Structure 1
């Protein structure tokens, strides 16, 4: 099936991650582990691990707090995010809003894209997404043992049915220390 209008040039790379948002990260890890996904590394996203936080245009140092788990599954990363209380943002994180809108039930909340073969710098990517009607709604810079990972979420939910995230790791990226969970 084709569309009458040609597609604009791509600005997103490859799908690299699928994220489940949950009220209890350990329950979701347990469920996914039963399907053979794991082990998971768990990290805390907070003011000391995620810099340059932005949430719905508000910038600060402690706007959102999350418990985050990652597991490699082939070329894909399975991510789990649990919103935590205590952030200073005037609005809930995208993850808390997802749970609020879905009666507290866990589910797939976003997919993430890397730079892939599309070498569009992050600032240009943000501008291009905005020009196409998708505002930046949440972002931050996760600090590794070495290097950084910048993540940006766009408001694609109403148009596409899920949230799109784009990520870029610095060339010197090394994962921070995280707890490994195998259930």
Structure 2
């Protein structure tokens, strides 16, 4: 067992801060509407597909897929809505088994290097089950932590020169002129 170092730190602490909560849905618009009623938004809407996601994998093998992805800031974290469109994904697997719901949590892994994150999660016995690289720069990886924790864990890495691309759409509307979204 790890040593307890404080009221919030174990000797094997690695995950760092929660930076994202993600809902998988069969209808991203309906889910956004519900969250907007709760005051979460505005939402930046993107489509992830082979044209903008490099190195796509599913359960350890190359696999092309497309998903509608919606982001909204909330304090120090992000909300994400994901609707699978086509191709093999852990998001469609989740929908088939559970229906719409909270499917994964993302952690910053204390901002350690990308390769260290992947190695550490694998060394702890967790397999990468979906991954890719948005715009060829923003690496993301999902790990099969569901049996151990009840949900999937994700980590992602924004390089220093990362700039969010303009979304396809904003819902219910874009931030006011002059307000930096991300």
Q: Same fold (TM over 0.5)?
A: yes
Distance 2:25 2:111 in 1: 32
- The Cα of 1:15 is off from its aligned counterpart by 0.7
SS in 1 for 2:142: strand
Could you state the TM-score of these two structures normalised by the residue count of structure 2? 0.85
Could you state the TM-score of these two structures normalised by the residue count of structure 1? 0.85
Provide Cα deviations, 1:40-77, integer angstroms capped at 9, x if missing partner: 000000001111111111125xx221000000111111
**RMSD of the TM alignment (CA)?**
1.6
Equivalent in the alignment of 2:156? 167
Aligned pairs, number: 166
Give the conservation status (yes or no) of the 8 Å contact 1:39–1:180.
yes
- The Cα of 1:148 is off from its aligned counterpart by 2.2
Q: Which runs of 5+ in 1 are unaligned?
A: none
Distance 2:114 2:12 in 1: 16
Equivalent in the alignment of 1:84? 85
Give the conservation status (yes or no) of the 8 Å contact 2:68–2:82.
yes
Distance 2:52 2:44 in 1: 15
1:58 aligns with 2:93: no
Q: Which runs of 5+ in 2 are unaligned?
A: 4-9, 174-182
Give the conservation status (yes or no) of the 8 Å contact 2:2–2:11.
no
Equivalent in the alignment of 1:19? 22
SS in 1 for 2:161: coil
- The Cα of 1:8 is off from its aligned counterpart by 5.1
SS in 2 for 1:124: helix
SS in 1 for 2:166: coil
